[in-house]
Structure 1
């Protein structure tokens, strides 16, 4: 359990209750685009407006945001629509500029949260400030790094903190831009039960047609809110066009959301859905490990074939079974269960080796 000195999320005159909805364009592009999108977002009943002023991009040459000249645009949004406004910060200079222009909410992006030095610079600039600060998960699935970034901000005196779950990079092919890996924010909830978690379906999916399912999943897991990229004309957006929706489309999805509540007292607890999601994730890891193990079995089969060695090595099998059962006891696993499991694994390993060793026979 991680102990943080936290306060409930709030803004002047507005208590942020579940589900917290933050919406606005990926990037502030022009003053007209920002103001018109803000008007449309406000018309849908959303109270919190987001827009990227500084945009860390993967490669040089991409649009990296308009910079500080866009901050007065957000100030106009506040004055003309009454919306609270937020933007991403990655350096101490960003923090100073944003605060100077009255930005209400700041968030630390995934690339920044992966760098403790960068997070510390932002945290140092936040000394004496207690506006809501949201911390996105690092690009890679590293829970300790995520918690460490949150702790750095909290130690700077910021008490209104939330985590943003925006998914994780993966070399595996997926329908998502960033794999949600739900078990990681679920474990964060277990480790820091009083920390609000806001899901970012835009960066998880990378596609507007997939947004709703991730939004609903986050609500089913009892997470606290959603931060969604919404643009008045997504197809003309200067960045991340495919993952942005119009404010009207956003409202349609929000109206469809089923918000489930359960009486669990004052302390958040792990729900059945959260535990099942963790089981699903662990099962995938088991399958990945089994795939890796069978690849090694096939390599062993190739070695035996090239060296004219028989498949079954009884002595080795007996040693493996004895060792695994002894180790299982340390993990409080039943001997009979472990023995049956490794019998099945061994049977499949023999099968794989047999295919390798007899491949030439099948060609004759």
Structure 2
């Protein structure tokens, strides 16, 4: 196991003028023309955006789609860096991308979801970044695999890259959903628990897939304490050559940011701190009660498992399980609890009970 990653917060990157939350990274999905990119960047700059993002190489799911302008777009970014004083960033998918992007003075790079899912690609990128001291952000892999995501950070860290950050862009799902990608917020939350100081950014554009959801997803990220947002913004989104439906104009982005409520991680005065501590003590007491109840329930499950083994009775009892589920969901409704929450909890308990009885049966 790799030792704990000692990663500085983004305020310690010493790269940006504004160190308060949220750090905003914005720009078009793809750099399409020099005029399009510069005009978008100018409007973003006027609205206080400090970091420009633009795709130069675009990995597309199917061929014959717009896959980016390639290297010729890098001087366009460099000109914006020089003329407007913005920081510039782009996505890299291999060592060649890294080397070429660095030649044009990128201030920040990010690794896309498809690349994160490929340890060979991540290792190649990590090796090519040795000795480079710029922030590198890593998008979550396409599928909800937190170990794969953490592995990407470890590969980069072992090559000496410490200015690391995560981009949560949601996870692909076979089923059609409201969003393009399922948020599954519990995964970035667990990532933050496992890598303590890791700066966490949200990509509402890719989670939503539709511009009308960007506001609510951005607010959710702020409510959860994310450090920043990376949002796709285009001077004329409806005419964009890639991902048109999820891009917004710089003015629309400004409206979203104006209405964002920024939450603080800790209470801002001693009285609020005391109130929080008292409420958390109550939570801790209830958690202990839950743990005691689970322990006692599992002891009874073991007795039931022994009885079933001695009397050659099947572990799964569908009628009994149906009665339990019906009863607890009815209780959830009476107590104004989320039925979805209660169902998930009791399904997990039921599965643990089956697993324990299976062990007893086969001892």
Query: One fold, TM greater than 0.5?
Result: yes
- Distance change >3 Å, CA 29–CA 328, structure 1 → 2: farther
Match of 2:215 among 212, 216, 235: 212
- Distance change >3 Å, CA 322–CA 85, structure 1 → 2: closer
Counterpart residue number, 2:115: 112
CA contact (8 A) 2:25 2:50 kept: yes
Counterpart residue number, 1:164: 167
Counterpart residue number, 1:235: 238
Counterpart residue number, 2:8: 7
- Distance change >3 Å, CA 349–CA 219, structure 1 → 2: closer
1:279-318 CA distance string (max 9 Å, x none): xxxxxxxxxxxxxxxxxxxxxxxxxxxxxxxxxxxxxxxx
CA contact (8 A) 2:58 2:67 kept: yes
How far the C-alpha of 1:348 sits from its partner, in A, is 7.8
3-state DSSP of counterpart to 1:14: coil
1:140-199 CA distance string (max 9 Å, x none): 000000000011111111111000000000112211000000010011111112101100
Matches of residues 293-332 of structure 1 in structure 2 within 5 Å?
325-326=301-302
3-state DSSP of counterpart to 1:22: strand
Match of 1:102 among 105, 119, 123: 105
3-state DSSP of counterpart to 1:173: coil
Please say if 1:148 is aligned against 2:124: no
Counterpart residue number, 2:202: 199
3-state DSSP of counterpart to 2:88: strand
- Distance change >3 Å, CA 109–CA 216, structure 1 → 2: same
- Distance change >3 Å, CA 125–CA 323, structure 1 → 2: same
Match of 2:134 among 128, 131, 136: 131
CA contact (8 A) 2:6 2:197 kept: no
Counterpart residue number, 1:173: 176
3-state DSSP of counterpart to 2:177: coil
Please say if 1:347 is aligned against 2:347: no
How far the C-alpha of 1:3 sits from its partner, in A, is 1.3
Please say if 1:252 is aligned against 2:255: yes
Counterpart residue number, 1:359: none
CA contact (8 A) 1:11 1:131 kept: no
Structure 1 stretches lacking a partner, 5+ long: 266-270, 272-320, 330-340, 351-364
Match of 2:92 among 89, 94, 99: 89
- Distance change >3 Å, CA 2–CA 263, structure 1 → 2: farther
CA contact (8 A) 1:95 1:125 kept: yes
RMSD over aligned Cα, in angstroms? Answer: 2.8
Work out the CA distance in 1 between the residues paired with 2:169 and 2:3.
21
3-state DSSP of counterpart to 1:106: strand
Work out the CA distance in 1 between the residues paired with 2:104 and 2:216.
36
How far the C-alpha of 1:326 sits from its partner, in A, is 1.3
Counterpart residue number, 1:43: 46
Structure 2 stretches lacking a partner, 5+ long: 269-275, 277-296, 306-316, 327-363
CA contact (8 A) 1:230 1:245 kept: yes
CA contact (8 A) 1:163 1:195 kept: yes
CA contact (8 A) 2:169 2:206 kept: yes
Counterpart residue number, 2:187: 184
- Distance change >3 Å, CA 322–CA 154, structure 1 → 2: closer
| Aligned positions, number | 287
CA contact (8 A) 1:2 1:191 kept: no
Normalising by the residue count of structure 1, what TM-score does the alignment of the two structures yield? 0.74
**Higher mean C-alpha displacement, 187-196 vs 226-235:** 187-196
1:186-238 CA distance string (max 9 Å, x none): 11111112101100000000000010000000000001110000000000100
CA contact (8 A) 1:2 1:192 kept: no
Work out the CA distance in 1 between the residues paired with 2:30 and 2:304.
53
